[in-house]
Each structure stands twice: as C-alpha cells, then as structure tokens.
Amino acid sequence: MKKLFLLTILLHLTFIVKAQTSLSLDSCRALALTNNKDLLISHEKINAAHYQRKAAFTNYLPNFSATGAYMRNQKEFSLLNNDQKAALSGLGSNLAGPIGQAAAGIIATYPELAPLISSLSGSLPAALDQAGNSLVDALRTDTRNVYAGAITLTQPLYMGGKIRAYNKITKYAEELARQQHNGGMQEVIMSTDQAYWQVISLVNKKKLAEGYLKLLQQLDSDVEKMIAEGVATKADGLSVRVKVNEAEMTLTKVEDGLSLARMLLCQLCGLDLSSPITLADENMENIPLNPTDTHFDLSTAYENRPEIRSLELATQIYKQKVNVTRAEHLPSIALMGNYMVTNPSVFNSFENKFKGMWNVGVMVQLPIWHWGEGIYKTKAAKAEARIAQYQLQDAREKIELQVNQAAFKVNEAGKKLVMASKNMEKAEENLRYATLGFREGVIATSNVLEAQTAWLSAQSEKIDAQIDVKLTEIYLKKSLGTLQ
C-alpha cells in the first residue's frame, strides 16, 4: 500500500512538471524530497531498523528447532564377544556329555523312566542350541544404519537482562534512523531553497544586465550622433564602446551562471539537467520578505534539532550496551524440552523401528572465572557511554553558538538590505539627472557612464541583499530545527 501511494505521488509530480510552465518553491521541495537518493536510503534504514526491532522481540518467545541425522556404520556394534556367541550357539552340544551321564545315572536308579529319559536326552541339546541362537539374535544391535531426529523447544527464563536491553537498543535504533531521516530532509530542503533563490537571483541579475546593456547601447547611439555633429569626441565614443563590450561579457557570464544554477536545481529535483524549467518567482521585481523574529528559545532548538535527538538516542543505546555487556557475565537460565526418535530403538531391546521419548529440563549457565574479562568489558562500555554523553553536551554548545550566529546574520542581512535600498534610490536619482544633463549637453559622457555603473552596482547589491535575507532566514530556521 505504501509503495502504491508513493508511486501515485511520483507520477502526479511528474505530470505536474510536464504540464506546468513553472515550478514553485513547494513543488521543487516535493520533487527533491521524492527523488533524493540519500533520503530513499535513509527510509530503507528506517525499515531495516523496524524489522530488527521486531526480530529482537522474538527473543522473548519460545524457540523451536528440528534436527535429523542418518549415519552408515562400517561395523555393527555387538553386546557379546565371539566366544560368548559361540558358547550360546552350541549350548546344547556342549552340555550333551553331562546330560547323557546324568540320564544314565537316573536310568540306573529308576529303570522304569528309561523311555522318557531317552527321549528327553535326545531332544534337549537341540532345544538348548536353538535357545542359545535365539538369544544371540536377540542381542544383535544392527547399528550399521542409524537414524535419529529431535524437536527441541527452548524458552529463555533469565538471561541477565540481555534480551530486555537488546529490545531497548533496537527501539532506540529505529527512532535514531527516523531522526537521521528528518535531518536529511531538512538538508535537502535547505539545499533546494538555496538553489531556487540562487536561480531567482541570477534571473534578476540577467534582467539587470540586459537593461544595463540596453542603456549603454542607447548611449552609444547618442554619442555616435553627437560625434557626427561635432559635439562629442571619438574618445567619448571609444569609452562607451568599451563599456558596451564589458556589459555584453557580463551578460554572457550571468547567462552561463543561470544555466548552471538551473542544472543544479534540476539535479536536486531529480529532473533531467536539460529540462527547460522556469520558476514561479522569476517575474517578481521585488522578492517578498517576511519579518523574521530573531528572539528564540534554545530549548525549542534542542527539541527540534534532529542532531540533538540523535545524540540523545545514541546515549541511551550506549547505556543499554553496558547492560548487554554485563549480562554476558551473569547467570542465564532456560527451559529445555525435546522429543527424540531413533532407529534402531533401545526402549524394547534393539529394534529396527522408529521409537521416541520426550524430556524436559532446565539449563543453567553460571560463569565462574574469566580473569576479570567481564569487568574490563563493562568498563569499556561505560567509557563509550560517557563519550556519547560528552558528544551530546558538545553538540548543545555548538548549536547554541550556531543559532546565535544565524540570528546575527539575519539582523546583518536586514541592515544591508536597508542600506542597499537607500543606495539604489540615490543611484537611480543620479542616473536620472545624469541622463537628462547629457541630453541637454551639460554633463560629460564619462559622468553618465559613472552614473550608469553606480546604478548597476547598487541594483546588483540590492538583489544580493534580498537573496541574502532570504537565505539567512532559511539558515535560521534550519538552526532552530523548524525548517519545513
């Protein structure tokens, strides 16, 4: 369901890109968040951490396993040696002499029993031989082909707290992956915003360069006419042409920079680098700027910054690793249950049949002496936990410094914009008077060029100041963790 939803969003965004003539800042963000490979990787890390947490929970549950084996032996195990087998097989034959002597004594004493004694003495050895052979056969093990199988149940009862600690670690790890994903999203949004406003800045500078070139071309035309009438010198015309060439070169550089900036934005949005995109804010003469509140609460930044939350989770993970390390050197108790079958079976002598039995028990493992290994490992884990705590404290201090720097930059950018606006007003006024005076013949060509150059510089500074205000606002939101 999630894959279908993401596919629908991606197709919808692709349709928007193809259908509309311009991209807004929100649509650029949406495309960047959808197509960024690092975010896709971090999303899969969230899935992996989620399933690892589920796998860790299964350690609380009984574990079932089945085992089967077959073994072919060269020789058969024997409970009797060869002499014992020979003695049992010839039992009647070996007793024939003693039995005959006993029968003769009985007959001499009791002649009337002679027929009965004769019949018994003739059949008894054979019966004893048969009984001996039967006993030898019954004691055969027939272990040349051996089959065995078992189903085992294991239920942990006490593992020194290892299972509980490991479950907490996987829970923190999943949340850590989410925080890293959120941090990556803010980085992508910030990079996209910077690239977007960089394009807007270069679009405005391109318009400025085109306007400046147009002014110089008009001035060049006027100077040529004045030279023809003898009012201006050829040196004036040469100075204007030099400025025209410089303006054409400046326009070329701005156009090249704008092309590269568009390519960067396309790359961030996951579009083809040659896509002919236009932005919704390109036609704005003045970039809308909202007043930014530089009064902030550091606790808000600590709560919102993914880096702080990630380090807090890392600290908790290392604390639980101390418990895991300690648990490896504590007693562990588990309930065991088995059902085993074998062939040959030995429950009713040796039989070539599958027969089995069940058994239950409790297994206890108690470490006795490992030369202090557990103590050393536990101390090492505690040292790692303290390192994570120090890193968290250091990050808090750096974030406090970063937020204050961002606030200073916002204020500084606002002051620069005010100054650039005032300079722009003065430059426009000077250019207007210089142009009027030039047409009336009371101002020299060099003064007009200076006024136009000053106007170009003031206009460019104003554009840079507006973009700088926008970017410092984004940086402040990023520092506070409120960039969305």
Asked if residue 136 has pLDDT above 90, the reply is no
Asked if residue 313 has pLDDT above 90, the reply is yes
Could you report the per-residue pLDDT of 209-233, keeping only the tens digit for each? 888 888 888 888 878 887 887 767 7
Question: CA 73, CA 64: separation in Å to the nearest integer?
Answer: 30
Asked if residue 5 has pLDDT above 50, the reply is no
Under 8 Å CB-to-CB from 160, ≥6 apart: which residues?
326, 327, 328, 329, 330, 331, 332
- Identify the band that residue 10 occupies on the pLDDT scale cut at 50, 70 and 90: very low
Lowest mean pLDDT among 3-12, 52-61, 292-301, 399-408: 3-12
Asked if residue 355 has pLDDT above 60, the reply is yes
pLDDT of 68 reads 94
474's enclosing H/E stretch is: helix 445-480
In the predicted model, what is the mean pLDDT of residues 311-322? Answer: 93
Q: What is the DSSP letter of 362?
A: E
Q: For residues 56 and 48, is the Cβ–Cβ distance under 8 A?
A: no
pLDDT of 92 reads 61
Q: What angle do CA 18, 24, 25 make, to 5 degrees?
A: 130
pLDDT of 282 reads 83
Q: What angle do CA 336, 158, 152 make, to 5 degrees?
A: 20
Asked if residue 80 has pLDDT above 70, the reply is yes
Q: What angle do CA 312, 316, 318 make, to 5 degrees?
A: 115
Q: What is the DSSP letter of 351?
A: B
Measure the N-to-C terminal CA separation of the chain; round to a whole number of Å.
25
Residue 333 backbone zone (phi > 0: left; psi -120 to 50: alpha; other: beta): beta
pLDDT of 316 reads 93
Q: For residues 471 and 197, is the Cβ–Cβ distance under 8 A?
A: yes
Tokens at 426, concatenated? 């003065």
In the predicted model, what is the mean pLDDT of residues 144-159? Answer: 92
Q: One-letter amino acid identity for 165?
A: A
Question: CA 232, CA 242: separation in Å to the nearest integer?
Answer: 16
Q: Is the dihedral of CA 117, 119, 122, 124 positive or negative?
A: negative
Asked if residue 257 has pLDDT above 80, the reply is yes
pLDDT of 91 reads 62
Average pLDDT over all residues of the chain: 83
Instruction: Return the higher-pLDDT residue of 70 and 449.
Output: 70
Question: CA 189, CA 182: separation in Å to the nearest integer?
Answer: 11
Question: CA 144, CA 141: separation in Å to the nearest integer?
Answer: 9
Cite the DSSP H helix spans in 305-352: 306-327
Tokens at 237, concatenated? 């015309």
Q: For residues 121 and 97, is the Cβ–Cβ distance under 8 A?
A: no
Cite the DSSP H helix spans in 328-372: none
100 — phi, psi (to 5°)? -65, -40
pLDDT of 448 reads 77
Instruction: Return the higher-pLDDT residue of 463 and 390.
Output: 390
Q: For residues 208 and 463, is the Cβ–Cβ distance under 8 A?
A: yes
Tokens at 139, concatenated? 């004691």
Could you report the per-residue pLDDT of 178-194, keeping only the tens digit for each? 999 999 999 999 999 99
- Identify the band that residue 293 occupies on the pLDDT scale cut at 50, 70 and 90: low
Give the global pTM: 0.76
Q: For residues 28 and 269, is the Cβ–Cβ distance under 8 A?
A: yes
pLDDT of 65 reads 94
pLDDT of 93 reads 63
Lowest mean pLDDT among 159-173, 233-247, 398-412: 233-247
Under 8 Å CB-to-CB from 448, ≥6 apart: which residues?
219, 434, 435, 438
